[in-house]
Amino acid sequence: MIAHLPILQVIIPLLAAPICLLLNRSKLVWLFTLLVSALAFSISILLLQQVMSSGVISYELGGWQAPWGIEYRIDNLNAFLLLIISGISTVVLVAAQTSIEKEIPKDKHVYFYVLYLLSLTGMMGIVATGDAFNVFVFLEISSLSAYALIAMGNKRQALWASYQYLIMGTIGATFILIGIGLMYQMTGTLNMEDLSQRLPEVAQTRTVFVSFVFVIVGVCLKLAMFPLHLWLPNAYAYAPSIVTAFFAATATKVAVYLLIRFTFSVFGLSFSFTTIPLQTLFMALGLIGIFVASTTAIYQSNVKHLFAYSSIAQIGYMIVGFSLSTVAGLTATLLHMFNHALMKGAIFLALAAVVYRVGNVELKSFRGLGRQMPLTMAAIVIGGLSLIGVPLTVGFVSKWYLLTALVEQGWWPIAVLILLGSMLAVVYVWRVIEVAYFKEPLDPNIKVKEAPMSFLIPIWTLVIANIYFGIDTRLSVQVAEAAAQSLFGVSP
């Protein structure tokens, strides 16, 4: 059993998805999905322990030897991400049944859980696999289920947002497919480990250069880096609230993982950063993304749109950390993946609770909510403080590591710009807090109750994790540093 953990991590949610159709009862399917997700979480904990103690796990599917067979390769980086994805998935599922009762028609509940499990499978598969084409297959599985989940939103804008995401997402995935094809043409292999050994000899050909560019552009579209971020705000705002909570915390992290995996492990550090001026390009685009997205967030009247733009800004921070191409910079990016998942998971779950009680998340509906839903709003406050980077929260830890990584390399002006970006975060978080705590409700006769326990438990689990991991950073920093160091050790 232990030997098969890498494949079980992916197969269990995959097989569980059609079983949901057999169970066919809303609450029963919810419990089943929650159990499956918890099982996936425990497998990822076991995998992380195994990798931290004994090194890289290599698993051959069907007993076929790599590089001819498909290989699942779990190292520090993978295991860290598997933990984040399955953890967030389990926590979000606790609130899922209550949330979709008001947002999705009863006869569609079972299909919601089927799509959710398929989406979880897709993301786990992208992260766990060590074969380039397998990445494409699982990328499409997770994308297609994402398009369908987003289209389940109750307003008609959800359909349009899903269609736009479908068009842009398919173009991005097809670019990645083209890149993989060009790589295969030059080396004859699809296994990532084998590719990293064979690509250096053909690295100076135009084919490999074009392959690299296609893969990078495709992945950047999936990770919503400026200027390829246009699909994200509408997709996150109009999806069912629990879907937003799940995707905001996981989907873009998986794309950042792909970026890191392709540049460090497949193409190699020296190739990636010298063929095109990746450092300058990504640092510039990351910074522009931070400022443009944070500024746009300030002017939003829909709070989900506001935090969706905030997500784009946070991706910008991860890109800046990545562009440094040092161990410290990569550690900062990996840390931020973990921390941002906690922050945005908490905030969007709290927004889901507000939608459940109030019906919408327009800024004007937040008036007086600080008094009527104190625990939910407190969660948003702490999440907001984390976004800004206040000490004692996880947001501070990632910002600190990013700033030290920048200063270490001498990029003082960039460090100042990062701090300015945090000031913008203060503005948009303050907009929400001011309305919730300092304005009177529009109609004093409507009494809004606090969110039910099924929301409060996962929200406060994530909020307490926010604060705990902001104070005791051993787990996240150790794993992130180990992952960053092993990536630098492996690349030629």
Q: Point out which residues bind another protein (CB under 8 A).
A: 133, 136-137, 140, 144, 147-148, 151, 156-157, 159-160, 162-163, 166-167, 170-171, 174, 177-178, 181, 184-185, 190, 364
In eight-state DSSP terms, residue 448 is: P
Residue whose tokens read 């630098």: 488
Minimum Å gap between C-beta 413 and another protein is: 37
DSSP state of 264: I
- Residue 93 beta carbon to another protein: minimum distance, rounded to whole angstroms: 24
Of 228, 122, 215, the closest CA to residue 165 belongs to 228
Residue closer to another protein (CB basis): 258 or 330: 258
Report the residue count for the chain. Answer: 492
Distance of closest approach, residue 154 Cβ to another protein, in angstroms: 11
Nearer Cβ to another protein (181/452): 181
Tokens of 284: 């510039």
Q: By C-beta, is 162 or 333 nearer to another protein?
A: 162
Give Dmax over CA atoms of the chain in angstroms: 74
Q: Output the DSSP codes for 342-372.
A: HHHHHHHHHHHHHHHHHS--BGGGGTTHHHH
The distance of closest approach from Cβ of residue 459 to another protein in the complex, given in angstroms and rounded to an integer, is: 29
- Which of 217/269 has CB closer to another protein? 217
Q: How far is the CB of 299 from another protein (least distance, A)?
A: 13
CB of 251 to another protein, least distance (A): 17
Following CA atoms 95, 433, 397, 79 in sequence, which dihedral angle do they give, to the nearest 10 degrees?
A: 20
CA distances from 401 to 267, 334, 396, 413 (A): 26, 10, 9, 16
Residue pair 4/72 in contact (Cβ under 8 Å)? The answer is no
Nearer to another protein (CB atom), residue 191 or residue 422:
191
Closer by beta carbon to another protein, 94 or else 144: 144
Of residues 189 and 486, the one with the C-beta less far from another protein = 189
Nearer to another protein, 52 or 137 (CB): 137
The values of phi and psi at residue 268, to 5°, are 95, 145
Query: What's the first-to-final CA gap in the chain, in angstroms?
Result: 34
**Nearest alpha carbon to residue 317 among 420, 402, 229:** 402
Instruction: Give dist(CA 466, CA 388) in Å, integer.
Output: 13
Residue 302 carries which DSSP code?
B
CB of 364 to another protein, least distance (A): 7
- List the helix and strand counts (H, then E) for the chain: 20, 2
Least CB distance to another protein at residue 146 (A): 11
Residue 183 CB, shortest distance to another protein, in Å, is 11
Nearer to another protein, 116 or 136 (CB): 136
* CB of residue 184 to another protein, shortest distance in Å: 7
Tokens of 11: 């197969």
What per-residue string of b and e applies to 37-60 under the rule 16 or more CB within 10 Å gives b? Answer: bbbbbebbebbbebbeeeeebebb
The residue (of 43 and 151) whose beta carbon lies closer to another protein is: 151
